Amino acid sequence: MTVRQAIQDVTDRIAARSRDTRRDYLNRLDAAREAGVYRSTLSCGNLAHGFAACTPSEKAALAGNKTLNLGIVTSYNDMLSAHQPYQFYPDIIKEAAREIGATAQVAGGVPAMCDGVTQGMPGMDLSLFSRDVIAMATAIALSHNMFDAAVFLGICDKIVPGLVIGALSFGHLPAVFIPAGPMPSGLPNDEKSKVRQLYAEGKVGRAELLEAESKSYHSAGTCTFYGTANSNQMLMEIMGLHLPGASFVNPGTPLRDALTREATKRALSLTAQGNDYTPIGHIMDEKAFVNGLVGLHATGGSTNHTMHLIAMAAAAGLQVTWDDMSDLSDATPLLARVYPNGVADVNHFHAAGGMGFLMRELLDDGYLHDDVKTVWGHGLHNYTVEAKLIEDKLAFEPAPAESALPKVLTSTKAPFQTTGGLKLLTGNLGRSVIKVSAVKPEHRVVEAPARVFHSQDGLQAAFKAGELTGDFIAVVRFSGPKAIGMPELHKLTPSLGIMQDRGFKVALLTDGRMSGASGKVPAAIHMTPEANDGGPISKIRDGDMIRLDANEGTLTFLGDEKEFFSRTPATEDLRPSHHGMGRELFAGFRSLVGVADRGASVFN
């Protein structure tokens, strides 16, 4: 299959830019492989600690150093719906490993926080940093060097990127990611959104709002809208770290358990002791990351991945930029309409044909690299299937030739738009990104005076006081990674949405985040340089005319540039936001974190 030239050009320049760093990474991977698993070289005391809690038969097997041992890194907790299903996965995995004469151990757990719970709260300031904490926790889990391969149990926003970064630091090990799947469909997301807006207008009370939210988020499993969590699952499949068809199978079903058992066996088949050695460091090359970015654009995925994919790539020795993402967006058609980019949820997407249909369409029309390594073998064409149970046995059948729901999932011959769901914005105010797939064409260009706020609470207070009138671009600054950890500002969506519905031209400009749940209001987010670094966003004043043009990809201060850049940057005493809810523990992260367009990472 021939890849389109625009896709190949971006792939080639990532490879060229990353030549030295990728070579160094692969050299470290080879050295780790040659050193091998250290169970055979551990002292008796070390090894005894490593299998003290095992059964007698497992101890005998591990002592002999002939049995393969699988590490399990889990994000299980029973407070968060997406991660609660993982409670019983270790038992399933251990049983599947025993069936083929191997052992499995839970190597460690990683934290899993929910942006849905912390939205608009002080705990949200820890959210982005939790990705790098998870990466470090993953490394600690694997540092005992007792394992020949590993499986990773993670779903939501920062968890999967953190697990990937940690896994890539042990890039010589095979790694399979095992999802838990989305909850069944509840109250439609658009109906929930309407109730949120009515609540913001004071037309319904908290009881009605809570009832709507509870009917939407109602059981174990991932939230059903297409935010970062479900974008993660799409990425893991299209980048070759899931089993085919595994991403969106509901929890607690026989098919879900069968896929988990097969993922276990597959991970153990890829070790250095076998004939199909496939470590994660070899899978995650420049072609895999380009495939992931194409998938992100084709589905209108999460803006968070404009940072996460850069950080993940860096962990594999690859240098990916916003310009790469922008060029791929210009070359990739939008094929999915899942809330907030439409009214359907991920269960509808899966029923329409899901990942198998999507990947076949993109492969057949030259938008994806087929010649890649995956945990399922060589070639992404192996993923153009549906996973099914036939007579209680796992089977993979070709994805449907036609979408069952063309308004949710379409072909490359009839795309929803000819370009992708994300867009890079550049101009004299710096660089930012916008999710255009959820914004109607008539709202994609806004030229209006600025209303400046130093926190999301300030904007909310102005809205409630009736101070927001007419056209405006809300500037929410001092929300960047160095300032307070770059929290999501999704709680602003109902207020801004109300103003837009009243007929005003409205947009948001911020150095904070808006996540995969970015909705109908145009939002220029991840602005860099951030206000805390004295970026142009720190010089904006109330009344300054700003033009956001998502069609042309520009974000511009309109006026006397010389006067604008001569202004003294605004400042803010952020100390109150650096304490409480654990935030004081992350002072080192705030001082080390990089800029948004380099992944907002403490590692690079």
Half-sphere exposure of 249 (CA within 13 A, CB side): 23
- Write out pLDDT tens, residues 110-123: 999 998 889 889 99
Q: In whole angstroms, what is the distance from residue 476 CA to residue 459 CA?
A: 8
Binding-site members for [4Fe-4S] cluster are 156, 223
Whether the predicted pLDDT of 518 surpasses 70: no
Mean pLDDT, rounded, of the chain: 94
Written in H, E and C, the secondary structure of 222-243 is: ECCCCCHHHHHHHHHHHCCCCC
Average pLDDT of the segment spanning 319-342? 94
Phi, psi angle pair for 163, to nearest 5° = -60, -40
Which residue type does 392 have?
A: D
Using pLDDT thresholds of 50, 70 and 90, give the confidence band for residue 181.
Answer: very high
Using pLDDT thresholds of 50, 70 and 90, give the confidence band for residue 477.
Answer: very high
Q: What is the pLDDT of residue 185?
A: 85
Q: What is the pLDDT of residue 493?
A: 86
Whether the predicted pLDDT of 560 surpasses 70: yes
Average pLDDT of the segment spanning 230-255? 97
Quote the Cα angle for 329-552-513, to 5°: 65
Written in H, E and C, the secondary structure of 499-561 is: HHHCCCCEEEEECCECCCCCCCCCEEEEEECCHHHCCHHHHCCCCCEEEEECCCCEEEEECCH
Q: In whole angstroms, what is the distance from residue 250 CA to residue 81 CA?
A: 12
Share of the chain above pLDDT 90, in %: 81
Q: What is the pLDDT of residue 449?
A: 98
Top-level class of domain 422-598: alpha beta
Using pLDDT thresholds of 50, 70 and 90, give the confidence band for residue 294.
Answer: very high
Alpha helices for 285-353 (secondary structure H): 286-299, 305-315, 322-331, 346-352
Of residues 227 and 360, more confidence is placed in 360
| Residue ranges matching CATH 3.50.30.80 in the chain | 422-598
- Write out pLDDT tens, residues 354-407: 999 999 999 999 999 999 999 999 999 999 999 999 999 999 999 999 999 999
Q: Any residues with CB less than 8 A from the CB of 579 and at least 6 apart, and which?
A: none
Q: In whole angstroms, what is the distance from residue 122 CA to residue 124 CA?
A: 5
Using pLDDT thresholds of 50, 70 and 90, give the confidence band for residue 535.
Answer: very high
Share of the chain above pLDDT 70, in %: 99
- Write out pLDDT tens, residues 405-417: 999 999 999 999 9
Average pLDDT of the segment spanning 262-284? 96
Q: Which two tokens stand for residue 474?
A: 């809300």
Q: In whole angstroms, what is the distance from residue 397 CA to residue 82 CA?
A: 27
Q: In whole angstroms, what is the distance from residue 305 CA to residue 526 CA?
A: 11
- Comparing CA positions, the residue from 232, 218, 110, 126 lying closest to residue 179 is 232
Q: In whole angstroms, what is the distance from residue 113 CA to residue 83 CA?
A: 10
Using pLDDT thresholds of 50, 70 and 90, give the confidence band for residue 55.
Answer: confident
- Write out pLDDT tens, residues 72-83: 999 999 999 999
Q: What is the pLDDT of residue 401?
A: 96
Q: What is the pLDDT of residue 516?
A: 53
Whether the predicted pLDDT of 267 surpasses 90: yes
CA 599 from chain center: how many Å? 12
Q: What is the pTM of this model?
A: 0.95
Binding-site members are 156, 223
Average pLDDT of the segment spanning 491-517? 89
Q: What is the pLDDT of residue 54?
A: 86
Average pLDDT of the segment spanning 424-442? 93
Average pLDDT of the segment spanning 148-161? 96
- Write out pLDDT tens, residues 564-591: 999 999 999 999 999 999 999 999 999 9
Q: What is the pLDDT of residue 252?
A: 93
